[in-house]
Structure 1
Amino acid sequence: MKAYVFPGQGAQFVGMGKDLYDNNPAAKELFEKANEILGFRITDLMFTGTDEDLRQTKVTQPAIFLHSVILAKSLGSNFKPEMVAGHSLGEFSALVSAGALTFEDGLRLVYKRAMAMQKACEIEPSTMAAILGLEDEKVEQICQSIDEVVVPANYNSPGQLVISGSMKGIEIACEKMKEAGAKRALPLKVGGAFHSPLMEPARKELEEAIIATTVSKPICPIYQNATAQAVLDPEVIKKNLVAQLTAPVRWTQSVKNMVADGATFFTELGPGAVLQGLVKKIEKVEAESIQSL
């Protein structure tokens, strides 16, 4: 069975999507529609902007979403997913590609999500750190032992877990992780504590928009971050999308469940090739990355 996966924040690069725009009239039309919806020319920033331009949350999230979704649409009849999943922001790309959200609604939600997350980051300084070489259970125990906001945020692959929390909480956690034998405890250059209780203001803001948006039954199961389970029910999809901002990304568990349910080949659609690497670390399956056609 063929699974398609969609990357999240951090996969962006200058020039992303330009091949599609230049060589595919239908793709160009969608990019121009996105410029209209957003009210600024995101294509200029994607194709010829600077790394700094692309790092702005209000640009990063819609840019990655657009690259992934337009790439999927450009595959035409060759895009026949039997299951899909997306990492964090990538969940929205997966939902649009699988027909659960329209292109327009997906883009509006992604932009609203980006702006809401940016606001939440400004309320309280916070950050994230990558913990390498410790068992998930050990990382969870250490997070629980700290009297600060610090939680597991991204279960990326066995031995690679990202934690999220207050500046002080992450600082204490990194020291404790090293003491416990972590190979690395590396603070990340991010704007805030994504997928943690500190994103609650953003969750509340996005909840209203998600509730007001029509979600259709997707053409195949989507394995959502919050539960790592296969979902087809539009109401459950909405509930999991709302939960996603403050819940951890259960990527390891999602990939394991997809393989258990029959996935044998994974194709990553969008910028970068991070997810195909993670998939191969989680399960012994084939995986590829497609960035342009």
Structure 2
Amino acid sequence: MFGVNIVRKIILSADSTCDLSESLKQKYGVNTYPLHVILGEKEYKDGVDISALDIYSAYEKHNILPKTSAINVNEYLDYFKDWVDQGYSVIHFNIAASLSSSYQNCCIAAKELGNVYPVDSCNLSTGIGLLILEAAEMIERGMEPEDIVSEIENKRTKVHASFVLDTLEFLYAGGRCSALAALGANILNIKPCIEVDNTSGMMKVGKKYRGPLNKVLKKYTVDKLTEHDNLKLDRVFITHSGISEEMINIVRRTIEETAEFKEILITQAGCTVSSHCGPNTLGVLFMTE
């Protein structure tokens, strides 16, 4: 079984922002803890009692977007304590420290409990997920927690995460771009690529595509996969915030035509990506050697 090494007693864990599907979490033995999502007067748990569809519905009906808040120290203490008391070591992956205080809070809890190893992923969504699956394979090989964390930290800059946005409406509503930029993008049919800086986890605007979404996604996929001549061909993620099967299949076929990945994994993004980027957002996320 992936994720829990019975002999060395290692638990693999992550914030909900890793955006791994339930089937992947089960296969690799990944435990997750939800970030908080505040929508209007109510607080929810990311991926537990709120989804991307709920966010889009709230925006459409009430013109409100959620805010996310970090997992606090006491939550981490309660979450890890039973495992630590049973003699397990816990390797826990956090969303980039530059994006949330979850990592800092996790470090405080880890220092108090011992045998908890927080990892600043310097990433988000399945950019974190790629590192988690690498760690699961290391656990399976019998590596020690300290060595796994060290190896993962060396691999962070090998993760390439980006997304194409169909609309800037949600970035504008969340105060992350100007009304003029949003209007201009809409009029000119511009679909920007948002990239993750894999040394910090910060977001930046990459290439700006123009045209219908099906053609943009095909061009974006080819661009990203041909930027590098040393692709790690174990797996690639197609992660989306809610998009048609037609668009997913276009991207899947484009990947198959461009590179020989052993696995093409499809997941739907949770509330963090969805609330910032809006519907029809799609990313191709992979690693290099």
Same fold (TM over 0.5): no
Point out the structure with the larger helix share: 1
Point out the structure with the larger strand share: 2
